[in-house]
Amino acid sequence: MTDVNNPYPMTDFTALSHQVADVARRAGQFIRQEAATFDRGRIQHKGLHDMVSYVDQEAEKMLVAGLRELLPQAGFITEEGTTGADSQATSVGTALTWIIDPLDGTTNFIHGLPCYSVSVALMEGPELVIGVVYEVNLDECFRAVRGGGAFCNEQPIRVSAAPALSQSLIATGFPYSNFHRVDDYLSILKQFMSSTNGIRRVGSAAVDLAWTAAGRFDGYFEFNINSYDVAAGILLVREAGGHVTQFLHDGDPIFGREVLASNGTLHAEMQGVIGEFWEVK
């Protein structure tokens, strides 16, 4: 019997997460098909170095339609705003909210570089409850449910066991429109270059987080990042046994515009490096 005082009755998030993965895969299949014949003349510029294509927009429409069938009562935060949703939202309310990026790694896609993904997260109030990242080229679907663990193509995944930065591989992203702190960022990169096994820039924040959850990367950091880039991946890392915060404190990494993820063991060491050059503003 439905509680009339609760407009959002109990949901089986585990069962729902499998359906979300199916929706993400279908959008990914569309993206893969379009990649074979994509015309770079059909791109639009949303801002400095910020591009969008009809593929992003159509994939988002597919995701929204599929997710609305699953949870008609849920709201949306979307990158391309095809539903009229707020792509710049800085928080969510008490309701169920989808946070989606239909094509994370648009620049890679446009240039034919094979790393881009579909990212879908569901929040119940302020809590992440489902995270799905589908990497299109490798056909890898990462899935996590709050309290239920993390998986890649339905095999359990865990963060790495790297004990120190000196034995780690770190991922990051580079700013493409906001350069006011780029000197600080370059100083951080220089320090990580000299204290780790290396730094990688894949070009999809969702994939960076998914690969951190799977133990391929030992840590990841990026600033000037959006909720739809990281929401799903944050849950993946947490459910795989890792730790995710803002750069220097435990503030909200979903809407806080900066994210630091690690296997947990490296977290304080990574914060120490970042803290040498990065002041909270």
Annotation-wise, does 86 bind a ligand?
Answer: no
Q: How far apart are CA 60 and CA 81, in angstroms?
A: 9
Annotation-wise, does 104 bind a ligand?
Answer: yes
Annotation-wise, does 124 bind a ligand?
Answer: no
Name the token pair of 74.
């849920």
Annotation-wise, does 79 bind a ligand?
Answer: yes
Where b means 16+ CB within 10 Å and e means fewer, 5-38 reads eeeeeebebeebbebbbebbbbbbbbbeebbeeb
Cα separations (Å) of 52 from 21, 43, 125, 183? 23, 6, 29, 28
Annotation-wise, does 209 bind a ligand?
Answer: no
Crossing angle (nearest 10°) for helices 205-213 and 227-239: 0
Asked if 31 and 59 touch (Cβ cutoff 8 Å), the reply is yes
Q: Which residues are annotated as a binding site?
A: 79, 101, 103-104, 229
User: Binding site residues for Mg(2+), as ranges?
Assistant: 79, 101, 103-104, 229
